[in-house]
Chains A and B, each alone.
Chain A
Amino acid sequence: KQEVTQIPAALSVPEGENLVLNCSFTDSAIYNLQWFRQDPGKGLTSLLLIQSSQREQTSGRLNASLDKSSGRSTLYIAASQPGDSATYLCAVSGNTPLVFGKGTRLSVIA
């Protein structure tokens, strides 16, 4: 059974810092991995999708990497801003339906 773990559960950083969010999964037989952003009481916004054959994806200040063999992904956020404050969810797609981690709650302090 696929399990997705995200560390840390919460993170607070001053504005301008670069930061890394971690995601690990137990079954490496995945089709893809996605990072989402969720604001309080809102739905999900897809940030990056990495296919199983890819190593990383970049969008603006965001960079996500995937090491399928070790079951790990990282989301790197450069020059963090208060507007980046949200919960970031990692999800993997494979033989089972999309499986989500519990998320990392990020607070960027101005």
Chain B
Amino acid sequence: GAVVSQHPSWVICKSGTSVKIECRSLDFQATTMFWYRQFPKQSLMLMATSNEGSKATYEQGVEKDKFLINHASLTLSTLTVTSAHPEDSSFYICSARTASGTDTQYFGPGTRLTVL
């Protein structure tokens, strides 16, 4: 149980285009989802916390107008990278926390974004 999926697993796009990444909790309801970014040989850095039905909370230094997050249902959150640039190329990982409120996060497999 507690499986989180991400789609796509990898994407290559041209500079200036927008890319949407989906994060789904497959067998549980997630009131909270988290979006992380990981650069090569670096740790995961939290970008934003997404609560179902409300606006996402962004970490300091993360542009909310560039990284649009929507958490429209208890099983789906999306991250849209708008007007992507090569420096946005990274590994994006989501995680989901169950509605029971425990602190355990379940992580998705990640999405590799390459912006040309």
Contact = CB atoms under 8 A, between A and B. Distances in A.
A-B interaction: yes
Contact of A44 (B46, B59, B103, B107): B107
Contacts of B106: 46
Contacts of B104: 46, 49
Contacts, number: 44
B103 A32 contact: yes
A98 interface: yes
B34 A44 contact: no
A72 interface: no
Interface residues of B, number: 22
Contacts of A100: 43-45
B43 A46 contact: no
Contacts of B34: 97-98
Interface in B79-116: 91, 93, 95, 103-110, 112
B109 A42 contact: yes
B42 interface: yes
Given A43-B107, A44-B93, A46-B107, A101 B43 contact: yes
A93 interface: yes
A43 B105 contact: no
Interface in A83-105: 89, 91, 93, 97-103
27 contacts: A4-B43, A32-B103, A36-B107, A41-B91, A41-B110, A41-B112, A42-B110, A43-B6, A43-B93, A43-B107, A43-B108, A43-B109, A44-B93, A44-B107, A49-B104, A89-B43, A89-B44, A93-B103, A97-B49, A98-B34, A98-B46, A100-B43, A100-B45, A101-B43, A102-B41, A102-B43, A103-B43
Interface of A: 4, 31-32, 36, 41-46, 49, 89, 91, 93, 97-103
Given A46-B106, A97-B34, A98-B105, 7 more contacts: A43-B107, A43-B109, A44-B44, A89-B44, A98-B46, A98-B95, A100-B43
